[in-house]
Amino acid sequence: MNDETQATSSSKAFSFISRSWREVRDSADADIQLMKNRANSFKNLATSFDRELENFLNSANRSSAPAEIDFVKKLQPKISEFRRVYSAPEISKRVLEKWGPRARIRIDLSAIRNAIVSDVDVDAERDGGGIIEFDRGKRGRVGFRELWGEREVGEWEPIRTLKMRLREFERKRELSVEEIFGGFKSSDFVEKVKSSWKAICKEPEESKDVPPLDPTELLAHLVRQSGPFLDHLGVKRDLCDKIVESLCSKRKEQLLLRSIAGGECSVLENDNINDELDLRIASVLQSTGHHYEGGFWTDFGKDDLSDKKRNVAIVTTASLPWMTGTAVNPLFRAAYLAKTEQQNVTLLVPWLCKSDQELVYPNVTFCSPEEQENYMRNWLEERVGFKADFKISFYPGKFSKERRSIIPAGDTSQFIPSKDADIAILEEPEHLNWYHHGKRWTDKFNHVVGVVHTNYLEYIKREKNGALQAFFVKHINNWVTRAYCDKVLRLSAATQDLPKSVICNVHGVNPKFLQIGEKVATDREQGQQAFSKGAYFLGKMVWAKGYRELIDLLAKHKNDLDGFKLDVFGNGEDAYEVQSAAKRLDLNLNFQKGRDHADDSLHGYKVFINPSISDVLCTATAEALAMGKFVICADHPSNEFFRSFPNCLTYKTSEDFVARVKEALANDPQPLTPEQRYNLSWEAATQRFIEYSELNRILNNNKDDAKSSRNDGKIIRKSFSVPNLSEVVDGGLAFAHYCFTGNEFLRLCTGAIPGTRDYDKQHCRDLHLLPPQVENPIYGW
């Protein structure tokens, strides 16, 4: 059955491509037919001129002057000959063959001229041969003096009438030329032909000033374009950047010296070698008149929303009441992005059926999405203190017991209407796209940002055959993030180094924790005791959340920390094993049930201990710092953001850990400065997010990825200057992933939940959806 489905999909794809080619061919045929019609129109115009002359002759025949009768008798045979020659059917073919950019139309009027002026200069007849040339380079205008010379023929009435008729003929012929090409303006095909002819015939004035690309620049561009491919082969990105910089440095010095010597503004206005190389290539291509209009994978179907209020869709992999980072942080992000009122915000979260809710949500279930939405909004407003104006939507999801995570069912992107598909923020993009079988995110949205929350490789390495699994997951994560994201933000260097990624902490803390910290600082200023308890640890009770490291440290230095007592708060799957290990080693740990970090019972603790090295950016650490406590954590990339705070005490060895514990217990933490409090807030996190995700450029309607530079008063743009090898490869990877995830057997082999390619009937009832189609539409076409 799967083979038949694939065969049907393939046949539909080929049928669509054939139909598209027929449409292109029909359009070209229509344009050529239009050109033929215009040529026939020109021939009809000549016929009209013939009729005008005939009317003139008829009027002359009615004249009583003998001289006029003799003139008409002489002129009439010549007119008949002219009509026979230039009314032939071959005239349209000859016009089409000779109607080029510099073509000349030659009409022999010598017979008519000789009949009218019999004593014309013989030398003039020999020079011109009686040939009138309608030069298109001069828009086809032939003056009366050029036609008849300077000879005065008096005020004879037939001659004046002929002059008037000829002037009218010139005017009509000039209008006909404009009419022929003016009618083609609606045809994209002819517009491209005309632009191509102009580019060929136009003298590139700027090429004299712009030196051509040298081999080192071409090699640098090739190395940079091959960066993602080399990254897959194990060549680090830093090495590629160094190669590009070394290749471009010499050329950069030459251009700078040349611009300084000439007193001109250099194209290279910044120190970013990539921007300089892009602008250099764009300037050379612009000087030649070349313009790249996109490749095979380029999608031109996106709506231009430059004149509308922008729409931001935040898609995440979890939702409240599951108290996990991917449920809490996207909710805060939606609230604070909506608070700026610069864009409309939609938060898209998974909806679980009742059976899955009982496995995930503690002591609460929901009968409808509206109930869960009310729960989320009430929880949020209690913590932020304002009513957030954003929309909450749901997509079908299923809970995986083995992975302890929610897997999307069906095409998640379809739950954002096309009219609102502008900017997408994918929380955990690798997780969302492992089994994504639907429209490519970057095809539907104008800008797609991924935010990496979890260090999946660290968790997988702890499992059976973890090294082998981590190898495959690493490359799959590279695959999907590169294919579906324009920009990737990593919360810390503890995450996998993904394509198109930068490191930035774009998370803040609940405003309630900052208020607690301010209250603690006020109490201390008034001489009151702010901290009455010692140290504590809070986190989900699974080994990967730092419990293994904590027990090892305390067991190794049990004698050095004699009398040290630690309270532990948390629930989880490994609770029994953790407590049994601590009891067996006789450690002084007091285990209690998990609770909210803002609970009043935790305000009196002075020291928060977090030995975890599997976190990407521990939210509990940020919350403890916001409350004015000491934090003792490992010297690890996940804690890099917190090192700038004086109350953060890091350790490298177990001996350092003992020293830090004693130091924290013997001293009082320093109050946070206003700047430090702001850096921990969601306002600051939102500003960092807008900056590093390039949303500031997108929200300001500057949708070109390219920057621009001025050179001699002219703007040079990088956008669409050359085909981008990375974009071509990304499109191919997305298509391959779509084909791979469309096969149910391959999905199951890689660990997908059965039946998640489409949502089921229960999801249809809960979310009021139509039943899924038997076959999904062909990818992107």
724, two tokens: 């981008």
Mean predicted confidence (pLDDT) in 611-633: 92
Q: What are the tens digits of pLDDT across the range 699-730?
A: 776 444 444 444 444 444 444 445 566 777 88
Confidence of residue 146 (pLDDT cuts 50, 70, 90): very low
CA dist., res. 463 & res. 467, Å (int): 9
Confidence of residue 237 (pLDDT cuts 50, 70, 90): low
Taking a C-beta distance cutoff of 8 angstroms, is the pair 505, 689 a contact? no
Which of 48-57, 87-96, 218-227 is predicted with the least confidence, judged by mean pLDDT?
Answer: 87-96
Domain boundaries 511-680, corresponding CATH code: 3.40.50.2000
Q: What are the tens digits of pLDDT across the range 9-46?
A: 556 655 656 666 677 677 777 777 777 777 777 667 66
Using a 10 angstrom Cβ sphere, with 0-12 exposed, 13-18 middle and 19 or more buried, the burial of residue 639 is buried
What pLDDT was estimated at residue 6?
55
Mean predicted confidence (pLDDT) in 514-535: 88
255, two tokens: 């251009």
What pLDDT was estimated at residue 167?
76
376-388 burial, b at 16+ Cβ within 10 Å, e below that, comes to: bbeebeeebeeeb
Confidence of residue 125 (pLDDT cuts 50, 70, 90): very low
Confidence of residue 655 (pLDDT cuts 50, 70, 90): very high
Helix (H) or strand (E) holding 419: none
What pLDDT was estimated at residue 65?
45
What pLDDT was estimated at residue 659?
94
> Residue 623 contacts by C-beta under 8 Å, 6 or more apart in sequence?
509, 510, 513, 597, 598
Highest mean pLDDT among 144-153, 286-295, 427-436, 613-622: 427-436
Q: How many CB atoms lie within 10 A of CB 582?
A: 21
Mean predicted confidence (pLDDT) in 436-454: 93
Q: Locate CATH 3.40.50.2000 in the chain.
A: 511-680
CA dist., res. 618 & res. 620, Å (int): 5
Confidence of residue 286 (pLDDT cuts 50, 70, 90): low
Q: Which CATH number, 1.10.3720, 1.10.1760, 2.30.130, 3.40.50, labels domain 310-507+725-767?
A: 3.40.50
Largest CA distance in the chain: 141
**Average pLDDT value over all residues in the chain:** 76
> Residue 348 contacts by C-beta under 8 Å, 6 or more apart in sequence?
313, 314, 315, 316, 393, 394, 395, 412, 415, 416
Selected residue with higher pLDDT from 698 and 704: 698
Q: What are the tens digits of pLDDT across the range 298-317?
A: 554 555 555 567 899 999 99
DSSP 196-224: HHHHHHS--SGGGTSPPPPHHHHHHHHHH
pTM for the whole thing? 0.62
What pLDDT was estimated at residue 637?
92
What pLDDT was estimated at residue 552?
93
Q: What are the tens digits of pLDDT across the range 725-758?
A: 677 788 888 899 999 999 899 998 888 888 888 8
What pLDDT was estimated at residue 50?
65
Residue 770 has pLDDT above 50, yes or no: yes
Residue 607 has pLDDT above 90, yes or no: yes
What pLDDT was estimated at residue 581?
93
Residue 122 has pLDDT above 60, yes or no: no
